């Protein structure tokens, strides 16, 4: 944002959100279900992207568990971030400062909610 690279800021925010989703997947699959690391890594690559990770891994693996309802509430918000990111990366759309601020704000909120489900007291520092 400081360099006024609005499109890049959106891609970075979406990437940070995907990394938070990876943390959830690792907690659920590797820690919770004790799957082998190689299988967890394979599934992370297979799911590809934040939308895939939510649809193919996070929501199915948490179904029936205590975190599922909260994670399901994030689905539409994750889709919005993914659409903004994909419009930059796959279609070459240039974004405005207003759009970047919106995606960053939403990404921060989702990251906080995702990580806080697994790590009490998690805080994401402001820049």
- Let me know: does 75 contact 51? Beta carbons within 8 Å: no
Q: pLDDT tens digits, residue range 20-74?
A: 999 999 999 999 999 999 999 999 999 999 999 999 999 999 999 988 999 999 9
Q: What is the pLDDT of residue 45?
A: 96
- What's the whole-model pTM score? 0.91
DSSP string, 19-45: HHHHHHHHIIIIIIS---HHHHHHHHH
Distance CA 117, CA 50 (A): 17
pLDDT of residue 121: 85
Confidence of residue 123 (pLDDT cuts 50, 70, 90): confident
Max CA separation in the chain (angstroms): 44
Give 13 or 119, the one with higher predicted confidence. 13
pLDDT tens by residue, 71-117:
999 999 999 999 999 999 999 999 999 999 999 999 999 999 999 99
């Amino acid at each position: 944002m400081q360099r006024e690279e609005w499109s890049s800021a959106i891609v970075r925010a979406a990437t940070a959100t995907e990394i938070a989703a990876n943390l959830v997947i690792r907690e659920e699959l590797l820690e919770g279900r004790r799957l082998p690391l190689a299988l967890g890594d394979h599934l992370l690559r297979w799911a590809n992207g934040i939308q895939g990770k939510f649809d193919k891994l996070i929501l199915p693996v948490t179904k029936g568990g205590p975190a599922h309802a909260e994670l399901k509430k994030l689905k539409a918000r994750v889709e919005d971030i993914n659409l903004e990111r994909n419009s930059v990366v796959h279609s070459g759309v240039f974004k405005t400062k207003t759009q970047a601020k919106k995606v960053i704000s939403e990404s921060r909120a989702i990251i906080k909610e995702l990580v806080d489900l697994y790590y009490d007291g998690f805080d994401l520092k402001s820049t």
